[in-house]
Structure 1
Amino acid sequence: MAHIIRSKLMLLSLKYTSCVAPRILVPLKHQRLCFHTTRILDVKGKELLMPSLSPTMETGTIVKWFKKEGDSINPGDAIADIQTDKAIVTMEFDDEGVLAKIIVPEGTKDIKVGTLIALTVEADEDWKSVEVPDKSVEPAPKIAAASVEKSPAVTKVEAPPPGQQNIPMPALSPTMTTGTIIKWLKQEGDEIQPGDALADIQTDKAVMTFELEEEGVLAKILVPEGSEVQIGQLIAVTVEKGMDWKQAVIPTSTKPGAAVAPSSAQPTAPIDAKPSSGQVYGLAVKRLLEEYSLNSDSIKGTGRTNRLLKSDVLEYIQAHSIQKVAPKSVPAPKTDEARSPSPAKTPVPSGQPSPYKDIEISNIRAVIAKRLSEAKRTIPHSYAVMDITIDKLVELRGKLKTEDINVSVNDFITKAVAHALVECPDINTLYKNDQIIRVPKVDVCVAVATPTGLITPIVFDTATKNLADISKNIRELAEKARKGQLKPHEFQGGTFTISNLGMFGIKEFSAIINPPQTAILAVGSGREELDSSLTKLTKMAVQLSYDRRAIDEDQAANFLAVVRAMLEDPAFLVAGKTQALRYKRDAY
């Protein structure tokens, strides 16, 4: 009988649970206040997002969690080690609670800033029943996403004109995504000295003072007091002293990403000093205290959160008529005046031209500088060095001279490199659009120094040409390069580059890859050494710079081994035709 009663009660409860519950309609904005969106009354946790731990950080990697699920967290406790684009930084928690759920496990790479990585609850809540969002691994800041949807056309970075700086909302805490301008401490037209407080900003933690580290004039306030803005959104415009601040160019868009953040605008929190009195101050205040030999305990700070401002120190100095403390003099080193006269004794006569001369950069050198800096910045360079014994090569070159065949060491190297590229096709590649492109033809570029800069004319189909043809081709290209008569197709392109500084006595150097090529060979001069049997040998160092994204270490080693084998026994380079015929058949 009891079993029958329990069964009826269960059926009755299931009936009313399935029928009555769905009819409870609650407005969306009150759902979290009255009921949870899930059927079970779970605890709604606080979101812990991937913080921005460096100004240029876009993604991070969770190296290690210091807390486990269920562990208590106190203010200042270390939560996790996070690898940024600069270093491994420890993330600390500024509140108390319990770590309820770890969303992103250790070792997860390329987590975007703003992505939900964990959930916390209050100390008195049941952390085991925390409600986990459905899309927990997507970037959490919804305000930024909404702004992008509303204004999809704002994608171009708007750089300020010369002498003007656009000031964005700074990130004053690791978890800060928006900030509120509480009070502007400067007005339009006011001068700004390094370390001056610009505004009081309320973050997600506290009200902090935002300082600037460069001097200028506040030209335009873009965000009024009381406004809440996103990190990176423009809030003000400054100009250099001496400029008409009323003529400042106002940006057409203040959205995040439409401004170039000046390097001088840095949050003051990481560099604050906290003396024994408990007052907090920045580097500019610290510098003033040191220059006037003052103690911060004797000056009352008027800034928020017990902060000592630069204006407080200046008012104290003016009220007490305090003078700067002369720096300690350091005795000058004793020098021989006859040998090294001081500049003060040999002034430049007035009216005479300056001994210094500004050299205008040519278009070619400007392009070279741009491409090389871009290559060094974007290509992960790896290097491999090998010594090659060239006694047989020097001997063979001497024999060819007796037959009126003039070929240089560089011609032998070019021929050997061409055959090595046939044997090692992984080196004869290009890297474009995150893809490795294997090129069927071998076109070797040879670096030539000209008065306007370095240029790399191309020896096309190098592997199919004999040594004499390569030598003739290089001489013609070098002559045209020095006269500035090269056509664009003669120096734009190529699959591999050789840079030889051996004729200048350079023993060894590292060359920069010429993109989109994936490798370049730097050749040094020959040097005499003694082997273990005291036999004199002539050796030459070659260094391969290669793009680690496209070429592995063993592939680089195999390529250098082939080059060494051909140069140490160069008879094949003069008479061998097998490799060239095979290359020609495969390429076409």
Structure 2
Amino acid sequence: MTTLLLRSVMKGGLSKHFIKKTTHYSIKLERASIHISSFLYVKGQEIKMPSLSPTMTEGNIVKWLKKEGDTIAAGDVLCEIQTDKAIMSFETEEEGILAKILVPSDAKEIKVGSLIALMVSEGEDWKNVEMPDSNSNEVIASTIEEVDESSQSSGGNTPGTEIRMPSLSPTMSEGTIIKWYKKAGDKVAPGDVLCDIQTDKAVMSFETEEEGILAKILMGDDTKDVKVGDLIGLMVSEGEDWADVQVPGKKKSISSELKKESQTHIDTKPFSGPVTRHSYSGYSPAVRSILELYAIDGTKIQGSGKQGKLLKGDVLYYIAQNNLSIKPPNLVPLPGETPSKTSGSITMVRPPKGTGFTDIPLTPMRMTIAKRLTESKTKIPHAYATVESNIDLLLGLRKQLKYAGISVSVNDFIIKAVAIALKKCPLVNCHYINNQVVLQQTADISVAVATDSGLITPIITNANNKEIDEISSEIKELAGRARKGKLQLHEFQGGSFTISNLGMFNISEFSAIINPPQCGILAIGSGRPVIALNGKPQSIMTATLSYDSRAISESAASDFLETLQDLLQTPASLLLTKQTRKVHVSI
């Protein structure tokens, strides 16, 4: 009977009446369908309710601005969300196709972190996206919680206002509480800094928008990996007994078991030998992928297609009938490990004492950098152009300024020159957003600065209108705060163009990866002595432009580099600001 039911369902031939009469068999079928669902549908990327303000715990979806099937690019607004403060736009940082909207417009009180939609990559069949378990709302709203009976509310009788870990950057999912500036019993007013929090970008101050008394700190200094939305403290109103505050009980998710049931079972138990892989030539791509995943010999399955051809349904039926599980790939030894020839298992061979490896955990910033640079390099068509400039006059001018008591660096001249070149060549001063080239009105230069946590790019705004010494003092101040993790969000996010200078490390030439949505980055090498055609030595500096070939043409890139070369080789013009030129003309 079970065999008949499974085969009938595979071919879509059961009536609702028959299924009602065989409830106990349909339960078995449901478990089997969970086991094989990943092959029938496309695995979707989850879009969850974001935290759009520091105090937001839930929100209302006012209106979806994208519909199912629409192509989405980084920076697109998916929907409008009403937070506890205002109606804000939810911009995605991913790209793909919006496959399924799970929470419709006008939906209210959606908790932060709840699943609201699914995306798939371009080219995938968005109509066949794999849906969460439709039999339980807990899988869709993954943040539904229940109070653990063993951990009820404790403490006093005064209910407190919850302070939760805020989202201080668009990509922040968790953070580290560095230091609390308030202690229990302190009065708190709107705008007060409660604590410093290290995000995936920098150390930022958490300012409260509420007033009252800080009653209890639940997560103290140096608490790491605190997820956005986690409870970190409690406040009470003025006049209330803060020492008698009630601490909410710890919560646990009720969806964990449901998620375990709904996920495809993968056999991860140790096995005595490597998995036998068969020949899978001659099968269709869909059949071959399933056979390879389960390490099945296709010759053992009877095909139901024309001339006995093996179909996808035949393989799925065979898997369900034999209760098979996915086979893990053959293990590949890591450094310091040796595979056993007899069993195929891997045995860890410890290195000699004193020569062991040290694992250094990645900081949130380095993980974010790795993700963004990988996306940039794989999705943006990088093109490159290089120019060499004679910087003898620039070095001489810098030396003269130093004698006059004005200390500036070669990099300060480069920032000014790049900003002026961008204004003269506006086609290079652009962003690529939503498959459109957006020209930038100001020359805001992002300067790569190395910190212990990774690279960060503080911004010199309107650099073309600033004096060289003004640029110098501003970049020193920004770089100093960047190394301490004290930059504000607007001081390192944005910018129209980036400069990465490794000349001080004696790197003569290199190429850099574009920081989207910017379309260009200039890699500066060190000045090096060469012998000119006249037999005299001169200092040459190499600058390599990496540019997005979708937005910037070869001719525009060449014009920019030629303009930059002229400015660097005639540095006296860089000492003039727009205002200085006007005064000179009037005289």
- TM-score (normalised: structure 1): 0.45
**Looking at both structures, which has the greater relative contact order when contacts are Cα pairs under 8 Å and sequence separation is at least 6?**
2
Greater C-alpha Rg: 1
